[in-house]
A and B are shown apart, each in its own frame.
Chain A
């Protein structure tokens, strides 16, 4: 590994961490799309900043662009407050307009600006190590490493200082306000950090990857845990893993680094989405099937309990009466038998003592509108689940 390669991976990892932290809170606060809006609407800020400073890494440019990001948030909130359109429409109206202004500004001054819309949106990490920061003639590393590094330090410091406030205001705005934390300050603080991170990172990885790095690790982590600290840690781990692994994929395919980091992020999310222990899609579908069978079982037991007549409990009649498919009927019957809730004698189905007790309790809960209790009760009665 050459030093340039190490530097690229280092920059990518730092960006990943710097994005994962505000991203986690954005996902939890249901504001993920704001990051997309900010990442597009900083374009006019960057262009104007570039006209003034002629340097993509200048702090003034980052400040100007971050200001545009905050203006976006304020505009979105203003439009929302008028009640003329819904929040998501407000987002969708503001950022394309600002982005258009940016594109036109670039196009009108194409001859004297070395700035390209592609570069802003997509970034090129491969060139990051060549833009060195020199202090007093000595080379102290790539410029963008310093930029994203300082953003990360600020973000982490703010996170540690205001962790409690962020946590409370994210999960319970009312409580936060009554405890004396201003939700507005925390909200705009988070928005400012997101803007600054987006601006600082776009040069290295591009605006779209910033969105991916903010949302994807946090979303994947949210499927695995409901503990805020664990979620933050998981999001950071996913981010760093994708950054490093994505770099090597890009190296191998000879393609865009930003693109392959995003692709790896996508794969990580896909895996978590499919296989997360209790919230993954497979687990959810399995649980839905299980619950479906168990509800059918309960319906079946209730029917048995309501009818003492032999002909109502005859297997053939039950087939017609409940009108289940053959396979499903068999699953339900098997489950009931395995759990010792029914016995079948000469094609007549009858409840056992245990089945009777279970059904009576279930009826009680249903009559008193405490359906949720049935789930807990199932643990006591079922040896085998559906």
Chain B
């Protein structure tokens, strides 16, 4: 199947269109809210909440006895929120650290959820089959109404985010200052956290409990590498998230036996790896290039300083010396010498070199600068 054919199929095939749209919207909203989670150092909150949502799904099913997506999601939302606030309670009221609190809530809620799920499985209720799809997610089960729900929630998120943009931003970077300005920090905090929980719960059906945390983190972590501005980061994260969804769906649709959730996560991971390596200002590649460049500059300076040291002993600074003199000096290579010539610091004449006037002055300044720094 080639690409044009696939694109045609996306527009004509109901299932494929629904899934593509659903995962794209999901990726966008989780990327958007994930930016806040990452910057607030709550990266693993997503992992904890997605696990903590499981007992809510089971209890909602036990109470209503029906497998209606919306009621299950409300159950998940409530138990996710309880988990979140319990984590906060543990961190603020006891001396247990946040990692312990996250791990505790994650594993305890999930275990309890498993207990309930296995309990439900023994019940004589034919409806129960398929509850475990929330564990690993099944994008294939998305229907149009689910996509509408996602779109509506995304819209609400967007409106709230734009309305409270200033408050979100200031709370993110200077919580104490926000408080002194008279904002209700607790309210803003709860608002952001609730929306993060909401986004996670929405994604459970598509990518499942285990992989939801990556959906929240990966687009945001990738976007962070390209910019230092919050608005651009949120925008980029939404785009990365949406593209992970679209590409992930495309790849998994093109092969048999490839579940959508893990593929989306891997695509997002590729985005992250690419950003880590190729981002111009923070990326590893350019960092390495800058590092090498700095080292070359340093060697150049060292050579120049060494030459200056020799030239100082003569009255005529441009007195020629043999290149062999430089051979027992570490910073010296043929190319550094060539560079010094290009910069017009040094003149070459056969096997002899001599400092020019500019070269001598630069070296002298270099020297005095170093000594003052040493003192």
Contacts and interface: CB of A to CB of B under 8 A. Distances in A.
Interface residues of A, number: 63
B225 A97 contact: no
A247 interface: no
B107 A92 contact: no
Given A211-B103, A256-B118, 20 more contacts: A27-B96, A30-B100, A79-B276, A88-B99, A92-B216, A99-B210, A100-B211, A100-B261, A118-B135, A212-B104, A215-B103, A216-B107, A219-B96, A223-B94, A223-B95, A262-B108, A273-B90, A273-B94, A281-B93, A284-B94
Interface string B185-229: 000000000000000000000000011011011100100110000
Contacts, number: 200
Contacts of A96: 210-211, 213-214, 218, 265, 269
B266 interface: yes
Nearest to B89: A281
22 contacts: A30-B100, A36-B47, A82-B284, A84-B221, A85-B43, A88-B42, A93-B221, A101-B262, A103-B262, A104-B262, A108-B257, A209-B107, A216-B108, A222-B95, A250-B115, A253-B115, A253-B119, A254-B122, A255-B122, A256-B118, A259-B111, A259-B116
A261 B42 CA distance: 28
B136 interface: yes
Interface of B: 38, 41-44, 46-47, 51, 89-90, 93-97, 99-100, 102-104, 106-119, 122, 132, 135-136, 210-211, 213-214, 216-218, 221, 224-225, 257-259, 261-263, 265-266, 269, 272, 276, 282, 284
A214 B99 CA distance: 13
Contacts of A256: 114-115, 117-118
A342 interface: no
B110 to A, nearest CB: 5
Nearest to A122: B114
Contacts of B90: 273
A266 to B, nearest CB: 4
Interface string A146-180: 00000000000000000000000000000000000
A261 B110 CA distance: 12
B276 A82 contact: yes
B103 A35 contact: yes
A340 interface: no
A117 B209 CA distance: 13
Nearest to A105: B262
A33 to B, nearest CB: 5
Shortest 7 CB-CB distances between A and B: which pairs?
A262-B111, A259-B115, A96-B214, A100-B262, A212-B107, A259-B114, A266-B108
A232 to B, nearest CB: 16
A89 B38 contact: yes
B153 to A, nearest CB: 22
A295 interface: no
A293 B269 CA distance: 53
Contact of A89 (B43, B89, B113, B117): B43
A265 B217 contact: no
A258 interface: yes
A332 interface: no
A259 B98 CA distance: 24
Nearest to A282: B93
A215 B257 CA distance: 35
A143 interface: no
A288 B272 CA distance: 45
Nearest to A210: B107
A31 interface: yes
Contact of B111 (A79, A97, A254, A263): A263
Contact of B132 (A27, A103, A118): A118
A249 to B, nearest CB: 8
A133 interface: no
Scoring A100, A110, A214, A216 by chain B CB atoms within 10 A of each residue's CB, the highest score goes to A100
A258 B103 contact: no
B107 A215 contact: yes
Interface string A188-214: 000000000000000000001101101
A30 B115 contact: no
A303 interface: no
A91 interface: yes
A107 B218 contact: no
A266 B104 CA distance: 8
A110 B257 CA distance: 8
Interface string A207-235: 01101101110110011000000000000
Contact of B43 (A86, A104, A284): A86
B255 to A, nearest CB: 8
Contact of A36 (B107, B109, B218, B257): B107
B264 to A, nearest CB: 9
Contacts of A89: 38, 43, 217, 221
A103 B103 contact: no
A262 B94 contact: no
Nearest to B216: A92
Contact of A269 (B104, B211, B216, B262): B104
Contact of B265 (A100, A108, A122, A259): A100
B111 A93 contact: no
Contact of B99 (A30, A101, A280): A30
Interface in A231-287: 250, 253-256, 258-263, 265-266, 269, 273, 279-281, 284-285
A291 B310 CA distance: 73
B269 A215 contact: no
Contacts of B261: 100, 103
A86 B38 CA distance: 8
Contacts of B265: 96-97, 100
Interface in A26-71: 27, 30-33, 35-36, 40
A121 interface: yes
B115 A263 contact: yes
Nearest to A103: B262
A93 B217 contact: yes
Contacts of A212: 104, 107-108, 110-111
B44 A32 contact: no
Nearest to B224: A85
A103 B259 CA distance: 8
B349 to A, nearest CB: 47
B259 A255 contact: no
